[in-house]
Structure 1
Amino acid sequence: MEIEIATIGGYEEVGRQMTAVRAGEDIVIFDMGLNLSNVLIHDNVQTEQLHSLDLIDMDAIPDDRIMSDLEGDVQAIVPTHGHLDHIGAISKLAHRYNAPIVASPFTLELVREEIQDEGKFNVENDLVEMDAGETMGIGEHCELEFVNVTHSIIDAINPVLHTPEGAIVYGLDKRMDHTPVLGDPIDMKRFRELGRERNGVLCYIEDCTNANKKGRTPSEAVARSQLRDLMMSLEDFDGGILATTFASHIARVTNLVEFAKEIGRQPVLLGRSMEKYSGAAERLGATTFPEDLGMYGHRKSVDRTFKRIMKEGKENFLPVVTGHQGEPRAMLTRMGRGETPYDLDNGDKVIFSAGIIPEPTNEGQRYQSERLLKMQGARIYDDVHVSGHISQEGHYQMLNTLQPQHVIPAHQNMQGFSGYVDLAESQGYKLGRDLHVTSNGNTIQLV
């Protein structure tokens, strides 16, 4: 059977992921993501109202026109998890394919919301829920399997396409977490089985976000411990404390809510994405929040909450807000510019429980946001966080576990791939033979 892989998006940057695998006449698409940075550099752009071709021209979503070169029918669209760089283009591109969107429950809920918010296209693809550990048939000869992984969002999976020539393992995005705060540990047992059953692993497509970082990425339990230690140290502080993290990081948001209660402060989640992600997680029973927890996304509701906080005393509250990357329209950035009713005073604490996504736009916006906050006298606690991506020791372990015949680095640019190339070559892979460094818009013929 012919096996061909189209590297459509996410092979020149961190963002807008999209990969298609053709096995015979059957095609499976993994991820349809957005490059948010290329949207944010344009003022007041509303992606919901833009045509897909405009977003392609902005390098904001994958240019999927290469799909017309693949001889086969798309049988499934499979997002690995709910981050926008993996699902943000579904509402713009999925309607082109007569195929269901197959995802884990939380991811599917977020996809459903993306489709509901879409203002340009009518996306009517069937939505199929599948849990980690389950399988479904793809055409007459292939099978799709979900393997549970841990990441900085719940319900992440690595999909595996079983073909007569061996398994294609799509390895974006994960951290090897054996003690996660929410959800099950990474299923390394299943990965070991994949490397040793039937025809083994034909190809492994790998997340190279941290491929240049030595050592091992710690567990989320480490971040929980760091965060708790910090917040306990602020228990007697009688001024304002703010926290920001990835709105999609349900484990971290849950911990912030829990620790706020422990130090006698009322937590409140502020910002559209905070309300969206935490509300979805609570509806699905993925986490449990206190009954009196407020979640407010609409700007008028947020400003009313800020006025209430100022009236009743900042020392009684812990606002958890959007804006950890310094996004221009996010809540924390507006606070730094003095555009909310919340007054920052000298000595107020701002906790960044998030790292900077390694991309120039984010780095610049985050720097500007921190400068604005410091100019108002805020004291910043930086990087109370662990990454959601494996580092070099994790990459060695995955190669040893899966023993793939071919490897394709993804989720980075050429500079970011360099560490992974060195690492893979040290394990016997050779560039151009079975180690395929590629770019967006290419195809790789494996069989």
Structure 2
Amino acid sequence: MEIEITTVGGYEEVGRQMTAVRMDDDIVIFDMGLNLSQVLIHDNVQTERMHSLDLIDMGAIPDDRVMSELDGEIKAIVPTHGHLDHIGAIPKLAHRYDAPVVATPFTIELVREQIRDEDKFDVQNDLQVMNAGETMRIGDKTEMEFVNVTHSTIDAINPVLHTPEGAIVYGLDKRIDHNPVLGDPFDMKRFREIGREGEGVLCYLEDCTNANRKGRTPSESVARKELHDTMLSLEDYDGGMVATTFASHIARVSSLLEFAQEIGRKPILLGRSMEKYTGTATHLDVDLPDDIEMYGHRRAIDQSLNRIMKDGKENFLPIVTGHQGEPRALLTRMGRGETNYDFDNGDKVIFSAGIIPEPTNEGNRYQSERLLKMQGARIYDDIHVSGHLSQEGHYQMLDALQPKELIPAHQNLKGLSGYVDTANSFGYEVGRDLHISRNGNILQLTE
């Protein structure tokens, strides 16, 4: 079988992921993502109304024009999970391909909402649900399997293409969590089996977000314990308290909802993405507290903040968008004094989120925290564990899969250096079986 991999996007930065694997005449696309930081640096950009070519020129979505060089039929578009850097370009690009979008239930519902919000293109691709542990045929010779992984959102998988030449494992994004707060544990057993079945693993593509970070990424249960300890320490504070986290991080949102009630505060989710992600999870019967209050529209948010101030902010925990300091997010607007929520000296703001390692995010987050501090807020920072493997996790995956070829992704050259070092310890060499690719490259694996 002739196999080639096209590294369309996400191989020079964190974001706008897209990869195509061609196996003879059959092609599978993994991810179609958005680089949100390239949007945030522009004022009042509404991606829903923009043409794909304009977004490509901005560096916001993958430049998929390289796909015209591939000779074959697109069989499936497969987003690995529901983060925007993996699904955000589907409304802009998927209509170009006569293929279904295949993903887990939570991810499919988020894709459906992305398509529903699209104003420029008419996206008619079929949306097909497939669960972790299930398989589907790709042409006559290949089978695709979904392997359960753990990440900072639920329902994440790593797809595996089982070909006559060996398995191709698309390893974005994950951490090894054997004790997750929601969902099933990381399926390391299955990865070890794949590494030793048939022809073994021909190629492994890996997320290198934290490849320069030593040690092991902790379980989400560790973040939950730290968050619990922090909030219990503030139980007697008789003033305002606000929390922020990734709206897509359903496990973290669940912990915030639970602990708010434990310390006698009513949690309210505020912000469009908070309503979208948590609302989708509740519709899929994810195990969340009952009777969640959540508001996404500006008028409803303003009414909720008015109620909080009227009834006493010591009785509430607003859980809001803005963990990266996004200029138009609610927490940033609160910091600028653009809402009816008033901070008093000593009020608490809990950032249960790390900063995505990208200059725009780092600058926005710094500005947001400075604005909040100027109003007297006390910052509780980085109560979080990452959703990505650190160096020892990468070591474990290489030991489990023992791939013949490696393609690192999801970072710039500097960010890939730690992965190169880890791979070198297994005997891989750059230019031989460790391929440092760029956006738009086509790599021939077998002929």
Counterpart of 2:418?
Answer: 419
Counterpart of 1:169?
Answer: 169
Counterpart of 2:366?
Answer: 367
Structure 1 residue matching 2:254: 3-state secondary structure: helix
Structure 2 residue matching 1:195: 3-state secondary structure: helix
Over residues 333-381 of structure 1, what are the superposed CA-to-partner deviations in whole Å (9 max), with x where a residue is unaligned?
0000000000011100000000000000000000000000000000000
Pairs aligned (count): 446
Structure 1 residue matching 2:7: 3-state secondary structure: strand
Q: Distance in 1 between matches of 2:95 and 2:372?
A: 43
Quote the offset at 1:423 in angstroms.
1.1
Q: Distance in 2 between matches of 1:153 and 1:287?
A: 14
Structure 2 residue matching 1:209: 3-state secondary structure: coil
Q: How does 1:236-385 map to 2 (within 5 A)?
A: 236-291=236-291, 293-385=292-384
2:11 is aligned with 1:30: no
2:135 is aligned with 1:135: yes
Q: Distance in 1 between matches of 2:324 and 2:56?
A: 23
Report the TM-score when normalising by structure 1: 0.99
Counterpart of 2:217?
Answer: 217
Counterpart of 2:57?
Answer: 57
Unpaired runs of at least 5, structure 2: none
CA contact (8 A) 1:407 1:436 kept: yes
The RMSD of aligned alpha carbons is 0.5
Q: Distance in 1 between matches of 2:422 and 2:175?
A: 18
Counterpart residue identity of residue 91, structure 1: P
CA contact (8 A) 1:12 1:439 kept: yes
Q: How does 1:120-199 map to 2 (within 5 A)?
A: 120-199=120-199
2:381 is aligned with 1:386: no
- Structure 1 outlier segments of 4+, above 6 Å: none
Q: Distance in 2 between matches of 1:267 and 1:358?
A: 29
Q: Distance in 2 between matches of 1:188 and 1:195?
A: 11
Over residues 156-194 of structure 1, what are the superposed CA-to-partner deviations in whole Å (9 max), with x where a residue is unaligned?
000001111011000000010000000000000100000
Counterpart residue identity of residue 20, structure 1: A
Structure 1 residue matching 2:257: 3-state secondary structure: helix
Q: Distance in 1 between matches of 2:165 and 2:209?
A: 28
CA contact (8 A) 1:282 1:289 kept: no
Counterpart residue identity of residue 85, structure 2: D
Q: Distance in 2 between matches of 1:307 and 1:105?
A: 36
Quote the offset at 1:294 in angstroms.
1.1
Report the TM-score when normalising by structure 2: 0.99
Over residues 409-428 of structure 1, what are the superposed CA-to-partner deviations in whole Å (9 max), with x where a residue is unaligned?
00000000111111101110
Q: Distance in 1 between matches of 2:287 and 2:33?
A: 26
Counterpart residue identity of residue 73, structure 1: E
Q: Distance in 2 between matches of 1:258 and 1:59?
A: 39
Q: Distance in 1 between matches of 2:221 and 2:356?
A: 21
Q: Distance in 2 between matches of 1:195 and 1:275?
A: 40
Q: Distance in 2 between matches of 1:221 and 1:423?
A: 27
Q: Distance in 2 between matches of 1:288 and 1:346?
A: 33
Over residues 33-89 of structure 1, what are the superposed CA-to-partner deviations in whole Å (9 max), with x where a residue is unaligned?
000000011100000000000000000000000001111110000000000000000
Structure 2 residue matching 1:12: 3-state secondary structure: coil
